[in-house]
Amino acid sequence: MIIPNNIQHIVILTGAGISAESGIKTFRDQDGLWESHDIMEVASLNGFKKNPDLVFDFYNARRDQLQSEEVHPNEAHLALARLEKKFQGKVTIITQNVDDLHERAGSTNIIHMHGELLKMHCKKSLKVFSISGKLNQSTICSCCREAGNLRPHIVWFGEVPYRLDDIEEELKSCDLFISIGTSGEVYPAAAFVSEVKHHGAVTIEQNIVPTKQSRLFDSQLTGPSTIEVPRLVKIILNP
């Protein structure tokens, strides 16, 4: 693996694999269930309209899990925070994850393209708020002072990911692109590696196993993120 010495902007795409070792269950398993729920029941607008109580309860439970004592940033999250702090250029994290483990590890320049579990937004004004306590149909929106207008700040199936314009600008200007813990099967994130290569960026994939996109990357690191990511960060900071 060769990393040029003149790298100025690192863009890192992270997926469920980086948080799995922190105890966060992956988004989707082989049988199409998400924490024992059919995905479309809890991660689609139709599912929310059909049974909002189920959706609220599901995300309340996921929020409780995220904030439990058992879940905390792992060595991969901490290594990326260290990279942002010590690297002389710019480091941007684009994450598909809805947890706050990057923030808790100390990273600050983060784009949550699929939303954030600890936030909600008003369906009328689209204003985003932090969640305090449980979210349900009776929760009063602080901007419109009405109940029933709030929903989890999560990108569901069929919805457009957040901040795509910002993501596009980051991809255009990066010269090192690192994909960590993502299958590369969900678009638009799956297209990021091809886009950055078009602009001449060096590309590295880190995953527990090879993916369908592995052949597109210049280098592959296979193994647990908690081992491979700190090792990669050390190489970048000490070429």
Residue owning tokens 């980051």: 170
Active site residue 114: yes
Give me the mean pLDDT over the 93-111 stretch: 97
What token pair was written down for 171? Answer: 């991809």
29-87 tens-digit pLDDT: 444 445 667 888 999 999 999 999 999 999 998 999 999 999 999 999 999 999 999 99
* DSSP character at residue 44: B
Backbone angles phi, psi at 124, to 5 degrees: -85, -55
Q: What contacts 24+ positions apart, CB below 8 Å, involve 47-51?
A: 47/156, 48/151, 48/156
What does the pLDDT read at residue 144? 92
Q: What is the mean pLDDT of the chain?
A: 92
What does the pLDDT read at residue 23? 86
What does the pLDDT read at residue 176? 98
Q: What pairs with residue 9 in β-bridges? A: 90
Catalytic residue among 114, 153, 198, 199: 114
Residue owning tokens 């002389």: 88
Q: Specify the pTM.
A: 0.94
What does the pLDDT read at residue 37? 76
142-187 tens-digit pLDDT: 999 999 999 999 999 999 999 999 999 999 999 999 999 998 888 8
What does the pLDDT read at residue 227? 97
Structural domains of the chain in order of their starting residue, each with its CATH number:
9-24+72-114+162-237 (3.40.50.1220), 33-69+118-154 (3.30.1600.10)
